[in-house]
Copies of this chain bind each other. A is one copy, B any other.
């Protein structure tokens, strides 16, 4: 049986996921689309074999042919579509952020808990990257001892002029926060943000930033965001343990010896870097949903926690202070995660 997926939001990312589902992955098909721009939705649907266009996300969610919902619309609309899917009892994959405020995230948590089982998955694709997964395995096997620090580096060649320093936290470092929580298997409880000397390539943008967060047990998480660094899209990570460290290797598949240099290429953008991770993320989601498991990947709780860290991070950036983060109690629903050990012990 093929899973019928309805896609809300057919912009660049939505179209990429539609391509993925219809041309690359196994076991699902796109059966309905909707977009705030009706014309775009029509054009996208026209290129598909049997996808209807729905006027609104709500109508799409109710469509009987839709077995599962994929939310790729703009961030502020996520809450209502995710809530609608929960209301309809349908699995929903929501691109990050889960919602743009912690309050909205809590509404989703409440609705899902009321529903009684997990329906929501949040699009933190790094957890599906083969290298990050090996990193986690290395730690779990105890090869570096207990982790004490995690150095994360998030470097973009450039960002558009509309990019703000808050976005360096909320849109960029949010991935580092999530992956830190996932690798370390505990929550972040405090955060500082320290601006470095300004990169003049980005005009007046306060960039790069050094973020220093702390987990409940005291592990330090440092995040360097350098979003106009030109040389490439370079995601760095090093876990420092009691007796060793583990870090992401450089990725270029071919060593070039030329012009007095020997080296490998750096990815040019996030698509090149995480293309396969997106494929794996969606295939695993399709498989889990088809198996009736609702969602097994990053949960509403993960989306909420990431959002809470980001809000504290923005406050830390503006105030120059160390800001504490209190998530409150985690509902028992989110301890049953089949892919992860409980984060909250």
Chain A residues packing against B (C-beta within 8 Å): 22-27, 130-131, 134-135, 138, 143-149, 151, 194-201, 208, 210, 212, 215, 217-220, 222, 224, 226, 228-232, 234, 240-266, 268, 276, 283
Contacts and interface: CB of A to CB of B under 8 A. Distances in A.
Contacts of A230: 145, 242-244, 259
Contacts of A268: 260
A200 B244 contact: no
Nearest to A245: B257
A147 B254 CA distance: 15
Copies in the complex: 4
A244 B217 contact: no
Contact of A246 (B22, B251, B255, B276): B255
Given A231-B243, A262-B263, 19 more contacts: A23-B27, A26-B26, A134-B265, A144-B256, A194-B212, A197-B219, A201-B242, A222-B222, A229-B241, A229-B242, A231-B245, A231-B257, A243-B258, A245-B257, A245-B258, A246-B254, A246-B255, A251-B253, A257-B266
A206 B23 CA distance: 47
Contact of A252 (B217, B253, B262): B262
Contacts of A24: 26, 283
Nearest to A256: B246
Contacts of A208: 148-149, 240
A244 B226 contact: no
A258 B252 CA distance: 14
A199 B144 CA distance: 12
Contact of A210 (B26, B149, B224, B259): B149
A331 B52 CA distance: 49
A252 B250 contact: no
30 contacts: A24-B26, A24-B283, A131-B253, A138-B256, A145-B230, A148-B197, A148-B198, A149-B196, A149-B226, A196-B220, A201-B242, A212-B212, A224-B240, A229-B240, A229-B241, A230-B259, A231-B258, A232-B260, A243-B258, A245-B256, A245-B257, A248-B254, A249-B252, A252-B262, A256-B263, A261-B263, A261-B264, A261-B265, A263-B263, A276-B276
Q: 4 tightest CB-CB pairs across the interface, nearest first? A: A263-B263, A131-B253, A244-B258, A197-B218
Contacts of A194: 212, 220
Nearest to A241: B229
Contacts of A149: 196-197, 208, 210, 224, 226
B199 A254 contact: no
B265 A260 contact: yes
A240 B240 CA distance: 20
Contacts of A215: 197
A195 B262 CA distance: 26
A148 B208 CA distance: 8
Contacts of A247: 254-255, 257
A260 to B, nearest CB: 5
Contacts of A212: 194, 210, 212
A229 B245 CA distance: 9
